[in-house]
Structure 1
């Protein structure tokens, strides 16, 4: 089982299926772990926001519970540590943490391989960097490709409660990093206009990193959550099943009476002495 799906790492009392209808977890630590395990620097500000940076400052992550908008996770990469971002990714505050962890796990692996891995932009001329490869896990798991409209290529989950949109044409690089008007947008809920959660990625985000997220999002395995932390309207859309089997009902007085009757009926009519370490030796009686 992949590390981002380790059910022992995040406990709960229900499984949520499909997993893209689960809410975010209470802590972001699981998504920070892959980068911190590489020895990346971790800092906090006075508000409680966390900032993680690669040793060479070419990748920076912000975990921003006290940020100015709902962009809880913002991850940027730089060819020049002092220049503008080469690409940027955002996960909002309701996005399931497992999906963020899938991205940071792939990012950690790419960073160890070198700049050509984590700065390689999508390229239709390259087999390994073909942009549509990011959507392959969705197509392979029966998500439906919709007819392109208005320069947007959309893929929708079988139940219609999640989707991926790829915008073609020219986009504003600054808007891609600060708004939802990005090249890629992944979402779940009843409407893309008011999603339960969303994630965006700018034009040059490496395909391998995006594919790690779509692979995790479309995984058929459920996610564990505490029932009270699931959204009320999501409970009407998702399937919630108990992680632990329910406790057997307490016996009624009639059950106790029946059990006693069965025990009485099972006793022999005459007792048979049995030897044990505490038994006294039988007395020798007269022979017949």
Structure 2
């Protein structure tokens, strides 16, 4: 049987992708680097084209690594001691929508300006500001549901089942959290968490404010703008693509309306051609009788 194309995806040019977590990466890292570069963070590149940022106090490091050994495109670590082990680490893979990474770096820039008490703040249960549950709230407000309850795992999924967040409880290996997907927090989108289109991980002590910035961005119902040819194949059959229509003509102004009405009126006759009559007019004289 021949495959019949779905007319919903037989479009070209710019499109809006909804839900936004199925949009995929933009392919450009600059928007997510900008909030930190605006603070004057040092940037350098290696011979492969990977970019590395360091905060002025060397306590936060970001790697944008398109030529790395795995699909971890973005790796961000924070340190209590610049020469010690990372206090927390976050990873976004190479298909993660760039807007989600920018949401993280934007709040990270704000936290850095506030000082170590902000960007090294550990999650604390039942704490108004640092309760880890706060990172889940944006999803629940958009109708995401707690799914597959099981011991040691707290899982929340989108209504369509194509995105979710998994929170692991209990003890975890700190080194594994920084180098594998076995981290405290894992965000994903696609067909399942085992075969995600993109994923992001965050280790145990990642500040709640940074996690919440990402979950709020993911839960936002507004679509994301993409070039149709750049959308991933997994989008078809799951996401809604809406073409961006070219702008129409501007609405007419009152002056435009007045000119249009005037152009449709009949031209006025010359004053000399308009017959006039009044009570003072003399009656016409009779003609000569034959």
Asked if Structure 1 and Structure 2 have the same fold, meaning a TM-score greater than 0.5 normalized by the shorter chain, the answer is yes
TM-superposed CA distance for 1:22, in Å, is 0.4
Give the Cα–Cα distance (whole angstroms) in 1 for the partners of residues 45 and 18 of structure 2.
35
- C-alpha RMSD over aligned residues: 2.3
CA deviation profile, 1:147-172 (whole Å, cap 9, x unmatched):
52141100000111000000001001
Give the Cα–Cα distance (whole angstroms) in 1 for the partners of residues 149 and 41 of structure 2.
41
**Equivalence map 1:203-282=2 (5 Å):** 203-245=204-246
Task: Number of aligned residue pairs: give it.
Answer: 249
| SS of equivalent residue, structure 1 residue 72 | strand
TM-superposed CA distance for 1:125, in Å, is 4.3
TM-superposed CA distance for 1:233, in Å, is 2.7
Alignment of 1:92 with 2:93, yes or no, is yes
**Equivalence map 1:183-222=2 (5 Å):** 183-222=184-223
TM-superposed CA distance for 1:245, in Å, is 4.5
Return the TM-score normalized by structure 2: 0.81
Give the Cα–Cα distance (whole angstroms) in 2 for the partners of residues 172 and 129 of structure 1.
22
Change (3 A) 1:163 1:274: farther
Structure 1: runs of 5 or more not aligned: 1-11, 248-266, 276-281
The aligned residue for residue 21 of structure 1 is: 22
Return the TM-score normalized by structure 1: 0.81
TM-superposed CA distance for 1:246, in Å, is 8.9
Change (3 A) 1:137 1:272: closer
Give the Cα–Cα distance (whole angstroms) in 2 for the partners of residues 133 and 31 of structure 1.
23
Give the Cα–Cα distance (whole angstroms) in 2 for the partners of residues 244 and 170 of structure 1.
52
Q: Which runs of 4+ in 1 moved over 6 A?
A: none
Structure with larger Rg: 2
The aligned residue for residue 116 of structure 1 is: 117
CA deviation profile, 1:181-213 (whole Å, cap 9, x unmatched):
000000000111110000000000000000000
